[in-house]
Amino acid sequence: RAVFAARYAAGELMLYDSRGEQPTGRGAVIACVDTSHSMYAAGPGGVTREAWSKACALALLDQARHAGRDFVGILFSAEDRIQVFRFPAGRSAGIEQVLDFAETFLGGGTSYQAPLTVARELLEEEFDDATSTRGDIVMITDDECGVTEEWMRGWNEARRVLGFRLFGLAVGAPGAAEAGSVLDALCDNL
């Protein structure tokens, strides 16, 4: 016993981790890309926040295609300004559609609820049709905006039922990613 206790205290024992594997997303990858007026601001080197966010979204498209997953790009700004681009895994992504996705800029204010509601509805559709879960949503934004308490309750219930994850990427706006921010409250990883 004394030898065991001494080796345990010294960290010299072999340990076995029995947590198991965590399932990764196999559903659609959905990128919600902020295209509000503030995204047109230039950052270091003169590159706009929009350019950074679209580059990230195009990289996500590439990764989704490589993994055999559907990709959906949701461009958003104000609540009534949303455009959805679908890139199904089974079909090649046409250059015209990719360019249209990359070059579209909506302008206006910022609303998180509208694009995230569309993303949730797409994952619900996928869940009903293919019984697949664990889709991934990536919110790419530079702004902080509010969500209603009622919407947040519905959002959390949908996450529990569908098992999707939300990742946040704050572009050029450290305040949007601070602890206690709306983006922090919404995201699994920020």
Spatial separation of the C-alpha atoms in residues 80 and 116, rounded to whole Å: 13
Spatial separation of the C-alpha atoms in residues 184 and 122, rounded to whole Å: 23
- DSSP codes of every residue in 138-160: EEEES------HHHHHHHHHHHH
Spatial separation of the C-alpha atoms in residues 78 and 71, rounded to whole Å: 22
Q: Please, which pLDDT band fits residue 18 given cuts at 50, 70 and 90?
A: very low
Cα torsion for 93, 97, 102, 103, to the nearest 10°?
160
Per-residue pLDDT of 117-170, as tens digits, reads 999 999 888 776 554 557 899 999 987 788 999 999 999 999 888 888 999 998
Residue 108 has pLDDT above 80, yes or no: yes
Per-residue pLDDT of 44-84, as tens digits, reads 788 999 999 999 999 999 999 999 999 999 999 988 899 99
Class of domain 23-186: alpha beta
Residue 26 has pLDDT above 90, yes or no: no
Per-residue pLDDT of 169-179, as tens digits, reads 988 876 666 67
Strand partners, 82: 76
Residue 22 has pLDDT above 60, yes or no: no
- Note whether 123 and 162 are within 8 A (CB): yes
- DSSP codes of every residue in 55-66: HHHHHHHHHHHH
Q: Where are the domains of the chain?
A: 23-186
φ, ψ of residue 85 in degrees (nearest 5): -120, 120
- pLDDT at res. 188: 83
Look at 13 and 151; give whichever has higher pLDDT.
151
Residue 32 has pLDDT above 50, yes or no: yes
- pLDDT at res. 154: 93
